[in-house]
Amino acid sequence: MSARPGAPNATEFSCCICGHSSSKAGPGELGRARGNTKRFRGTVYRLWKCPSCRSIHSLDPVDFAEIYSDYPLNERRLDVFARGTLANLLARLKRAGLRPSDRILDYGCGNGVLLQFLKERRFDNVAGYDPYVPKFSELPSGLFDCVVANDLIEHVPNPRATLRECAEKVAPGGLLYVGTADSEPVVMDDLEPQLMRLHQPFHRVILTADGLAGLARETGFELLRSYRRSYMDTRFPFANYRFLDELNRALDHELDAALDPASSSRAVMRSPRLWFFGVLGSFFPSADEPAVVLRRTGGSGATRAPESQAGAAVAGTRSSAARNP
């Protein structure tokens, strides 16, 4: 999205994914959604859905360092939900050939929940990067056998540039995993049910599955596999996207409360509906989360940029665990 739509009297709508540009938004392209964290739930944000590629753009500018200064997901624990969903993510990576000895980078790692989980599973050669978490604010040097960019590109102003930077960290023959939210089914005049997926003001550009596939092709990497179902849709009790969605709705879309063990436990104990979806939610998915697994072939793929440039396009990241809240 160009800078102009963020202005109070925007006169141009420009999509950074497909290049569509218009001086006027058409019917069904504009919407408003409140934030879904305790800090931002009282603020309403303007959104625009590109009529060409169907990606959703957050129009109001933000200070990334400021909004991520107290990001709820950066306090997340390796709980039963995280263990179940991350086991599913790891299974996808192992299916693509990931080995315990591989060097792994979680690009946009938040507080490092995925790193902690991988170490528990004896994947010891792991590193993380997140410019807004002091512990991980320095991008590790060198190339990696696997780069995980899960629930990352929807958090930055230019997904294409960030994906390119992730690709530049992959060694020849290495893997790149990219997962994101799905904008396709979102109806702009009825956004309240979609507050978790929209996740304002943190989600800046939300793609469709086709949009993600297009960006993946631009890397020049080999496509090994694509997914539509969320990695959070598992059959582990209380580890599925539908349960998380229903829990957030029960707590009036306040992510802080959903992440608080006491608040979430009280909500579950009081609600047969939450118990039902906690156990059977994977059979009733409420949203897709497209993902691709790519391999950088020897001597091809992205051209490596100078190390000093790596991370320059990253304007905001979030935890690689239950992301796309």
Contact 57, 47 (CB under 8 A): yes
The whole-number pLDDT of residue 311 equals 41
pTM over 0.95: no
Give the pLDDT score at 11. Answer: 58
Residue 174, classed as helix, strand or coil, is: strand
pLDDT at residue 80, rounded to an integer:
87
Domains of the chain (ranges; CATH) run 72-309 (3.40.50.150)
Distance CA 54, CA 25 (A): 13
pLDDT in tens, 78-137: 998 899 999 999 999 999 999 999 999 999 999 999 999 999 999 999 999 999 999 999
In a 13 Å sphere around the CA of 73, the CA atoms on its Cβ side amount to: 28
Higher pLDDT, 301 or 133: 133
Please tell me which of 2-11, 77-86, 167-176 the model is most confident about, judged by mean pLDDT.
167-176
pLDDT of residue 298: 79
More confident: 322 or 288: 288
Residue 153 has pLDDT above 80, yes or no: yes
Indicate if the pLDDT at residue 216 is higher than 50. Answer: yes
Question: In this predicted model, what pLDDT tens digit does every residue of 232-251 receive, in sequence order?
Answer: 999 999 999 999 999 999 99
Task: Please give the pLDDT value at position 69.
Answer: 96
Q: Among 249, 285, 294, which residue's Cα sits nearest to residue 267?
A: 249
Q: Residue 8: its pLDDT value, please?
A: 41
Average pLDDT over residues 18-45: 96
Distances (CA, A) of 297 to 70, 78, 215, 235: 39, 34, 17, 34
Confidence of residue 295 (pLDDT cuts 50, 70, 90): very high
Both tokens of residue 187? Answer: 């109806």
Residue 71 pLDDT class (50, 70, 90 cuts): very high
Mean pLDDT of the chain: 90
Output the pLDDT for position 144: 98
What pLDDT score was predicted for residue 12? Answer: 84
Read off the pLDDT band of 194 (50, 70, 90).
very high
| pLDDT score at 275 | 97
Task: Tell me what the mean pLDDT of segment 141-146 comes to.
Answer: 98
Both tokens assigned to 273: 């509906």
pLDDT digits over 304-324, tens only?
333 333 343 444 433 333 333
Please state the three-class secondary structure of 199-247 as a single string: CCCCCCEECCHHHHHHHHHHCCCEEEEEEEECCCCCCCCCCCHHHHHHH
